[in-house]
Chain A
Amino acid sequence: MQANFYYMANDRTRRKFYFGALSLTAILLFLLDIVLGSISISIEEIFNVLFADDKVEPHISNIIINFRLPRACAALLVGVALSVSGLQMQTIFRNPLADPYILGVSSGASLGVALFLLGSSVFTVILPTLVSNFCIASAAFIGAALTLFLILLVSVRIRDIMTVLIFGIMFSGATTAIVGLLQYMSSESALKTFVVWTLGNLGNSTFDEIKIMFAVTLIGLTTVIFSIKKLNVLLLGDVYAQTVGVNVKRARILIFASTSLLTGQVVAFCGPIGFIGIAVPHIARMFFRRADHRILIPACILIGANIMLFCDIVSQLPGYGMILPINIVVAFVGIPVIIRIILSNKKIVS
């Protein structure tokens, strides 16, 4: 018995080390994300902008305050939000392939944006030539919010979680069809704007929008704190969760609300950024070798932030002459990294 608890204590030390290291690399990547880019900026200048404004040249200060800092913040928040959402979905659906978009939140948001961008060209409503990001975000947010409402309605009435899953997939299919129809009928320029939106963009957000994202992420994460214990028990499925005292419907509403908020704001402000939400929870489980959400949620927060910041750095490395769409980087950089982790981990396990 003694030996077993010694092992547990040992495990705690290892865990503390991982959490410490991941926090440190997140801070480093955050700074690096601001420093690197078409115009190089020194770390000293960043600190001067933040703490001693008068010492920096105005154009450098402008780049940091209006471009690099909001962008890095967006990357951080997107990484955190999608990873935690993905973890919740994989647990509640007991499916390793579930992702934050499985409930149809991004489809709903896409429909909102498509109606706004493409619908206006279809129905020949004259839009201001420069469509502001905030309008797109609002359209996406309305779409996501309506989807959330629909999900909650369904989850209250339907008992079986797999039926909820099928409903989500069907809903996504229906919205994709409507979006396809709009794409087919819309003008070329509107179509391009929409396609670019689907590739994701971390650099669209102003500092005020980042504040909104931050607030929504905070609400989403606070909600998760209340479902940690429920998520743990839901690993065993609805029946066992009920018999140990969980009100499964209430838990579902809490978890769906949190996921929809976290995912909805990402899609609204940065577009449907793929893949992070499905991969990060798996990386977290492999790193920490536990299924306990008290460990996995902070792990997902840290790993998600790290990976998203890393992808953002790659997307704007000097030498391209442009910033690559984030979804493309996430796919090209993220997939090999994750396959490598999975393969190396398999070697250890089996």
Chain B
Amino acid sequence: MTIVEKTDLAENAQQDPEELALIEQRKFERKRRIESVLIPAGTLIALLAIWQIGVRLFEVPLYIAPAPSDVAEALVNKFPLLLANFWPTFYESVMGFVVGNLAAVFIAVAFVRSRTVERAFFPIAVFINTIPILAIAPILVLIFGAGLTAKVVIAALICFFPTLVNMVRGLQAVSPQALELARILSATKSEIFWKIRLPSSLPFLFSALKIAATTCVIGAIVGEWVGADVGLGALIIDSTFNFRAALLYATVFMSSGLSVMLFASVSIAERLIVRWHT
């Protein structure tokens, strides 16, 4: 025992202490990185195992709660069906995202340009925001019919308000000194807008877009609940009423996958565009 320790010490003594510290630090970092993946992954696996064992142990019927293995099976076997219903929801979400956020950005610009416009329309925007999306969805389906338009409008509506509020804040979040600098440079209003206000609003815009990336999917699915024969929302309703619980869970899994995908896309765009925000 003592001999082993001595040789270890002798070996260490020959190495540069700084290098040694660096190696130790790398080891530590690698360990931490592995841990940061292993801990949540382990927890997830444990929870799935409890679910699997619980369902089997208490002999819960398949139409009430499927085991994870049943859901996985449905995901694989019904994948063509799931994908056929995924794309319509995807289009509705993305189009709603684009329309709702563009509208919010343009209206925010109008609000910042003119206090009168803001005073006239902001209370209306707040009022519309207070109506639950589930309550307004049937009205929109009545107006726009059971086609694509109603779902896009619902998805757009749900994105609209957070982006409006954030964008107004972002456009106004310019330091007074930056405005003094602009005045000394005799800048016009439009130069201030394009070169100062708009870029400084981008971090605010992106935090709103990240919210919208997940809520637009909710909007599209709610729209499909009210009236649709395709889409993940329609499939959720259909599999619920037919007691196809495994398919229902697989559909829910796909819906959350869609949200994650959109959220990740916005996050990547943010990292590429807002390089200065630390």
Partners in one complex: no
